[in-house]
């Protein structure tokens, strides 16, 4: 798929027989950005056929064990798979020390470069692939980040009708696409904006763990896909918010306020064997919603 | 089962679709001693129906990721399961710092007492259940321990024939079993050793990762069951030894020299989908051998 999501783990706090701990891959043109890596992520990559060599970046939302404890093993499995290329690892402050201490305990360092970024809300990271990672604050019990991922700029589309009308064809079109003005055979100056049309860029927003929060809506503004904490149903609202989590209804309200294209619910408490109740309560508020499950692939189209 | 083994993970270095990372439970009278906890151990406990509340001790052989990275998540799943009782955690020096750093990163401490013991070869730990844990040196690339676990002393058996001959019966038998001399109705002094017979104690030896090594044979002397690193077949002997591992033939030779009752091969390289070749090469040297697989239960009888 050109751009898609692969859910590696969709459980909260503890794994269940059906759901692993949090992990999500954003796959684009053969490369992947991993969002969180709970224990079991390296095994989930194998199970769902995503090579660890394809992971260009690993973004951790917050340093809770269920989102973090798969990271050291994932780094090792990347080495076992023969990785030599750069890995970008980002997360809240404390990530670097956690990785260093795992290296000290095991006397093992990755045989490939790892670039660690400790991010605070408001910071932006541009990955080697051109994906833009924007960090927003989550509302959780420890410092957490909501990630807004913006697709790299795409080659603009040529408006063939406009081109024909203006008498532009052949190599001139390529130069217009690259942003250069051209002069046609009959001496007319044509500017790029007369012929080429920018393509919209996909925006993927992943909340990690969060209670309902203005900054989540801000992060999710106009998102193509919003993947949101939906740990509980609304009858558990008080408990959810106390623990820094959202209900499915909270997630749906955030998607509605942000004008998201699609909402994916995830991070389900082990009390829900069937995500039906979560999905139904969200759908009453925001109709374009699906419930994640381990191994689910979502093709993203604008 | 009165005494048994449950294999939670039998792979080396990386998990495969069929095998998880190292983990082994010695289950005795409803309590369990865990030997190593690679990533995925908490999920394996659920899969194979062993409650984390039954684990009295967690013994780590060495601080390599594939044997260690399941520990922090396991501690959390014990808390989620409502644990309040003491957990004994033991391993080579460095284990305490690793656990402390995981606690610092995640801002989380177990809500139950954890007693951490950093062991060096030669040290002995007696668990609350009475199991004796003896630490021997492994021959690996980092400091590693071979654990020799000795069953708690068992109530001795009464030799009913001898008792009848000496005229001992009723409550006197109980006193003899408790180690007290008694005087019979006809005035005869009977010492415990005349009537009660000590029961043999099971000895379970687990090597963790090791190359062939005199101290492993010493640790395994007379073991009821020896669970031994068998990462490769003999055609890979040089690579095995260089990496601090054993071939299946090495494991069989150690079992033979030690006079072990049963040999269980484990820690298989991902290159072996079928452990048949490993088993066959060991069986030629030591016939009482089985190959572990995830979920395998071995009932231990003396």
Say yes or no: B71 contacts chain A, CB-CB below 8 A: no
**Domain shared by B77 and B145, yes or no:** yes
Picking from B69, B70, B94 by the largest number of A CB atoms within 10 A of its own CB, the best residue to mutate is B69
**pLDDT, tens digit (0-9, with 9 covering 90-100), for A200-248:** 999 999 999 999 999 999 999 999 999 999 999 999 999 999 999 999 9
pLDDT bucket at B239, cuts 50 / 70 / 90: very high
Q: Which residues of B touch A63 (CB under 8 A)?
A: 105-107
**Domain shared by B110 and B190, yes or no:** no
Say yes or no: A129 contacts chain B, CB-CB below 8 A: no
Quote the pLDDT of residue B169.
86
Which of A170, A196, A222 lies at the terminal end of a domain, its last residue? Answer: A196
**Domain shared by A79 and A129, yes or no:** yes
User: How open is the CA angle B54-B56-B61, to the nearest 5 degrees?
Assistant: 120
Contact between A246 and A228 (Cβ < 8 Å): yes
CA distance A64 to B108: 8
Whole-number percent of chain B with pLDDT over 90: 91
Query: A102 and B97: CB-CB below 8 Å?
Result: no
- In chain A, the number of structural domains is 2
CA distance A68 to A196: 44
**Residue A89 reports pLDDT greater than 80:** yes
pLDDT bucket at B170, cuts 50 / 70 / 90: confident
**pLDDT, tens digit (0-9, with 9 covering 90-100), for B174-194:** 999 989 999 998 899 999 999
Average pLDDT of chain A, as a whole number? 96
**Residue B1 reports pLDDT greater than 60:** no
**Domain shared by B145 and B264, yes or no:** yes
**Residue A255 reports pLDDT greater than 60:** yes
**Domain shared by A252 and A163, yes or no:** no
Q: How far, CA to CA in Å, does B126 sit from each of B3, B88, B130, B137, B262?
A: 18, 10, 6, 18, 24
Mean pLDDT of A159-179: 91
Half-sphere CA count of A210, side-chain side, radius 13 A: 28
Quote the pLDDT of residue B254.
98
Work out whether the CA dihedral A82, A87, A92, A93 comes out positive or negative.
Answer: positive
Say yes or no: B40 contacts chain A, CB-CB below 8 A: yes
**Domain shared by B138 and B173, yes or no:** no
**Domain shared by A186 and A231, yes or no:** no
**Domain shared by A61 and A116, yes or no:** yes
**Domain shared by B172 and B247, yes or no:** no
Query: A63 and B107: CB-CB below 8 Å?
Result: yes
For residue B62, the chain A residue with the least C-alpha distance is: A106
Partners of B232 in beta bridges: B247
Q: DSSP for A109-170?
A: --SS-EEEEE--TT-EEE-TTS-EEEEEE--SSS-BEEEEEEPPP-PPEE-HHHHHHHT--T
Quote the pLDDT of residue A294.
98
Which of B168, B196, B224 lies at the terminal end of a domain, its last residue? Answer: B196
CA distance A8 to B2: 38
Which of A146, A177, A196 lies at the terminal end of a domain, its last residue? Answer: A196
**B residues 88..107 contacting A (CB < 8 A):** 94-95, 97-98, 101-102, 104-107
**Domain shared by B102 and B179, yes or no:** no
Is residue A209 annotated as part of the catalytic site, yes or no?
A: no
Half-sphere CA count of B37, side-chain side, radius 13 A: 27
**Domain shared by B91 and B222, yes or no:** yes
**pLDDT, tens digit (0-9, with 9 covering 90-100), for B28-80:** 999 999 999 999 999 999 999 999 999 999 999 999 999 999 999 999 999 99
Structural domain boundaries, residue A174: 157-196
Which CATH number characterizes residue A24's domain?
3.60.15.10
**Domain shared by B11 and B143, yes or no:** yes
| ipTM, interface predicted TM-score of the complex | 0.90
Nearest Cβ partner for B43 among A15, A105, A106: A15
């Amino acid at each position: 798929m050109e751009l898609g999501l692969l859910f590696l783990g969709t459980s909260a706090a503890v794994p269940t027989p059906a759901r692993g701990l949090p992990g999500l891959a954003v796959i684009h043109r053969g490369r992947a950005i991993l969002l969180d890596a709970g224990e079991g992520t390296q095994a989930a990559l194998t199970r769902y056929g995503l090579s660890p060599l394809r992971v260009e970046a690993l973004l951790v939302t917050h340093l809770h064990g269920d989102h973090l404890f798969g990271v050291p093993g994932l780094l090792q499995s990347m080495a076992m798979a023969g990785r030599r290329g750069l890995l970008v690892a980002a997360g809240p402050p404390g990530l670097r020390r956690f990785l260093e201490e795992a290296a000290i305990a095991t006397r093992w360092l990755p045989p490939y470069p790892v670039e660690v970024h400790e991010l605070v809300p408001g910071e932006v990271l541009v990955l080697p692939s051109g994906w833009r990672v924007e960090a927003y604050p989550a509302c959780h019990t420890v410092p957490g980040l909501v990630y807004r991922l913006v697709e790299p700029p795409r080659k603009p589309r040529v408006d063939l009708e406009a081109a024909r009308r203006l008498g532009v064809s052949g190599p001139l079109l390529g130069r217009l696409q690259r942003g250069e003005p051209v002069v046609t055979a009959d001496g007319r100056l044509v500017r790029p904006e007369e012929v080429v049309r920018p393509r919209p860029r996909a925006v993927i927003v992943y909340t990690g763990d969060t209670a309902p929060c203005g900054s989540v809506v801000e992060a999710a503004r106009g998102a193509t896909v919003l993947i949101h904490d939906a740990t509980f149903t609304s009858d558990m609202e008080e408990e959810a918010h106390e623990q820094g989590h959202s209900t499915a209804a909270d997630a749906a309200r955030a998607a509605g306020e942000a004008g998201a294209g699609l909402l994916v619910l995830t991070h389900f408490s082990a009390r829900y064997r069937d995500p039906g109740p979560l999905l139904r309560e969200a759908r009453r508020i925001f109709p374009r919603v699906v419930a994640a499950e381990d191994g689910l692939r979502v093709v993203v189209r604008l």
